[in-house]
Chain A
Amino acid sequence: MGMQIAFFLFSLIAIVGAILVVTTKRLFHSALALVLSFVGVAGLYILLEAEFLAALQILIYVGAIAILILFAIMLTRHLMDPKARAFNEQWWVAALVAGFLFLVLMAMILRVPWPIKAAAVPENVIEGLGSSFVGEYLVPFEVASVLLMAALIGAIIIARER
């Protein structure tokens, strides 16, 4: 019972946050709503017993990505005229497409018999993650670090003032 209440609470936070992100006119507020949504998803991770991922979610999405976005909004602030239109002319088409996609996904999710296995989470998830990063997934791990390095250098070069 407590589980269900917590689930509803966190998914409400995530979804209301997400709706505010795409509907709020002031961009700074919508970035903060994005933070709210991230926190809701982190809560869902905790319910899924992936505490490590919840901590990563807070650390990287809230602590880094959201702050980068807020920074970018602050740097481009004199364009943030609250009277300007925040949405383009096709917003209703977009709403239709998104709504239709959700209906399709919902129909699919509710119909497919998912192969659920009621197993407990192993004790040493973090150790397992660590060893799979330097074992089974070594190449993707190295590629990800090269990607991050490239992104770091690329971002500095693109955004640098000449």
Chain B
Amino acid sequence: MVPLSWYLLVAAALFCIGLYGVLARRNAIGILMGVELMLNAVNLNLVAFWRYVNPSDLSGLVFAIFVIAVAAAEAAVGLAIIISIYRNRDTVNVEEVDLMRG
């Protein structure tokens, strides 16, 4: 069987790649995709721990399902905000959205 640490390494790699995407992308949609990758990495961790540490306790899976629900809500609202910004400011570039700057 595959050791637990391999799954954790894959999840860590996904998380760091997602983090890079969030930090380096200029486009708001690109940033959102990075966030989705990070959430996926978290889910992978939860499921791997559930399987290897205590499969009879389902809280790992339950949490993963909650994360999926939250990710869905986040994507819907985030994309709605992006579309709204695009309509008002004609850009989806986060560097140009500086309405709050004094």
Contact = CB atoms under 8 A, between A and B. Distances in A.
> Do these two chains interact?
yes
Interface string A10-34: 0100110011011000010011001
B75 A22 contact: no
Given A69-B79, A154-B77, A132 B16 contact: no
B40 A102 contact: no
Contacts of A120: 55
Interface in A55-110: 56-57, 60-61, 64-65, 68-69, 71-73, 75-76, 79, 85-88, 90-91, 93-95, 97-99, 101-102, 105-106, 109-110
Interface of B: 1-2, 4-10, 12-21, 23-27, 29-30, 32-34, 36-37, 40, 43-44, 47-48, 50-56, 58-59, 61-62, 64-66, 68-77, 79-84, 86-87, 90-93, 95
Interface of A: 3-4, 7, 11, 14-15, 18-19, 21-22, 27, 30-31, 34, 37-38, 41, 44-45, 47-50, 52-53, 56-57, 60-61, 64-65, 68-69, 71-73, 75-76, 79, 85-88, 90-91, 93-95, 97-99, 101-102, 105-106, 109-110, 114-117, 119-122, 125, 128-129, 132-133, 137, 140, 144, 147-148, 150-152, 154-156, 158-159, 161
